[in-house]
Amino acid sequence: MLRCASLTKTYRSGDRKLTVLNDITFTIEPGGFAAIVGPSGSGKTTLLGLLAGLDRPTAGTVHLDGAELGALDEDARARLRGEKIGFVFQSFQLIPTLTARENVQVPLELRGESAAERAAELLARVGLRDRGDHYPAQLSGGEQQRVALARAFSTRPKVLFADEPTGNLDARTGAGIIDLMVELNRDFGTTLVLVTHDVDLAARARRTIRLADGRVVADSAG
């Protein structure tokens, strides 16, 4: 489902080169659940951006559901993201002027799909059946992240990327979000790639890939 080979990312600052990711290679099977862990600054967010086609590598390749991202132009990559990828961020990133239901509907409406029924179904699925008319500011952090999960799953993505999705939540609420991700992974077969620095949460994934200084230093899948 997701394969990266010899991925390298370097940034230039003045006349110095900063290698943020160095020769990263792994494959995640369809329906897999992998956690990417490592200290702050180890390259986790950069790696997620490359895997999701938001950013381009300096060297190496990413294949997502059979397509090589580097062979696609900007428009084609954007289309692929809309069709196949969901995102969840640490900071929820809901649209503040839209209700919970409207936030979940946005990705579907962008694709020209009627969205009301699916939005209601997903809000119920994340335990927010009665909160659809509430605005993000009227919801707790954990509730906002559940809306963000419902939104990310609305288009039935093949791969869901989550970057520190529990980073702004207390431990118990964060664990609830991971429970929900595990359930959605199981029920919908969505491939999950979770970035977290929380080792307890990472242990919920079926596989852990550990980064340090831009390299894979451990991978529970070998």
Residues that bind Mg ion (CB under 5 A): 44-45
Residue 99 interacts with which of Mg ion, ligand ADP, none, CB < 5 to 8 Å by class: none
For ligand ADP, the closer of residues 40 and 97 by Cβ is 40
Site for ligand ADP (CB under 6 A): which residue of 1, 34, 42, 80?
42
- State the angle between helix axes of 116-125 and 100-110 in degrees (0 to 180), rounded to the nearest 10: 130
For Mg ion, the closer of residues 20 and 104 by Cβ is 20
What phi and psi values does residue 83 have, to the nearest 5 degrees? Answer: -85, -35
11 counts as binding ligand ADP under rule CB under 6 A: yes
* Rounded (to 5) percent helix, strand, coil in the chain: 40, 30, 35
Residue 171 interacts with which of Mg ion, ligand ADP, none, CB < 5 to 8 Å by class: none
Residue 41 interacts with which of ligand ADP, Mg ion, none, CB < 5 to 8 Å by class: ligand ADP
43 counts as binding ligand ADP under rule CB under 6 A: yes
For ligand ADP, the closer of residues 126 and 195 by Cβ is 195
First to last CA, the chain: 18
Residue 43 interacts with which of ligand ADP, Mg ion, none, CB < 5 to 8 Å by class: ligand ADP
Alpha-helix runs per DSSP H in the chain: 44-51, 74-84, 100-110, 116-125, 141-153, 171-188, 199-202
Residue 34 tokens, joined: 């992998």
| Exposure letters 39-58 (e unless 16+ CB within 10 A, then b) | eeebbbbbbbbbbbbbeebe
Residues that bind ligand ADP (CB under 6 A): 11, 18, 20, 38, 40-46
